[in-house]
Amino acid sequence: MKNSILIPILLCLCQATFAQNSSSLVGQWQAKSSEFGTFYIFDWTIKANQQCTFRATAGSRYTEVQRTWRYAAPHITLLDNGKQAFKGSIEWLSKDQFLLTIIDDGNPQNQGVQRLYIRQQEQVPAKEQGAMPTQISPSGSTCYACYGTGKADCSSCGGAGGYYDRVPYQRYNPTTGYYDTDYRDEWRHCTAMGCDGGKVKCTSCKHRDVPQSATYGPVPAPEGLIGRWKSGGSVYHFQAQVGMEGRHLTIEEGHTKMHGYWVIEDGFLKIRLFLGGDSQWKKYRFGAFDRNNIQLIEEGGYQRLQLQRLKE
């Protein structure tokens, strides 16, 4: 008898403890669940500006939608262009966990389906102080195909941009009454692919080389750059591991992940991504930098990157 009273009281207390408001929902959430024989991962990013992104992944496929959200405990409603697209009820289990019960998501079969959402650890910029380890930049090797110009002689025309073609033509000789053969050299422009006045893109160094070696101010030492950095919506992971052309790099942008190499030489941070085909090195000069912030300025371009170190 005692127990039957105690339990409802405890349940009430628990609910009161974990009663959460709209701002409690803001963050990144994930639920994993098997529904009707398919295993799903649901990623739900709920933003303070009332927008949210909902992604459902099954195997290697996913769908993603953007919605407006409204929360009036215990109900959450998602709107698509002002029209209700989803309604569910939320039961908070802790400030980092809630159980979502689907009331209406447009599919009658899903009514009553429950998903346990767990708050995902967010990556926050690092705050520790400390000096960035620096070095005087080593210089890269000189490319013997382009000497840093990024352009090499076209193998078809040898850098001349074209060639002379000896063309025979017939000329009537009134003395002999016959036709003589004369020759005239005619200039032909080289039509080899990529040839521009005898120069083609250098493939030996993929534009990694720079025209001249110079003395450079201090640049970050590689160990200062190793780790994860955020730039806008991208996460740069400068890895310590050394590969064929430099250290490994991955850049994550939303759900795409790019791979490549990074190296610090000639006073630049050089990055080459495997974008298919013959992708070239990009060079960035270092602007202001410290342990947790780096400003990069693209050489020969307009791109500026502001990198912020992420806490591991």
Distance CA 151, CA 30 (A): 49
Smaller CB separation from Zn ion, 109 or 203: 203
CB 243, CB 226: distance < 8 Å: no
Smaller CB separation from Zn ion, 25 or 157: 157
Q: Which two tokens stand for residue 186?
A: 């005619």
Category of 50 on φ-ψ map: left (φ > 0), alpha (ψ -120 to 50) or beta? left
Distance CA 73, CA 56 (A): 24
Query: Is residue 190 part of the contact set for Zn ion (CB under 5 A)?
Result: yes
Q: How far is the CB of 191 from Zn ion (least distance, A)?
A: 8
CB 224, CB 240: distance < 8 Å: no
Query: Is residue 25 part of the contact set for Zn ion (CB under 5 A)?
Result: no
Query: Is residue 210 part of the contact set for Zn ion (CB under 5 A)?
Result: no
Smaller CB separation from Zn ion, 124 or 192: 192
Letter for the amino acid at 70? R
Query: Is residue 204 part of the contact set for Zn ion (CB under 5 A)?
Result: yes
Helix (H) or strand (E) holding 269: strand 268-273
Residue of 272, 301, 255 lying closest to 56 (CA atoms): 255
Query: Is residue 154 part of the contact set for Zn ion (CB under 5 A)?
Result: yes
Binder of Zn ion out of 52, 157, 271, 294 (CB under 5 A)? 157
Binder of Zn ion out of 12, 167, 192, 240 (CB under 5 A)? 192
Q: How far is the CB of 279 from Zn ion (least distance, A)?
A: 14
Q: How far is the CB of 198 from Zn ion (least distance, A)?
A: 5
Interface with Zn ion (CB under 5 A): 143, 145-146, 154, 156-157, 190, 192, 195, 202, 204-205, 209
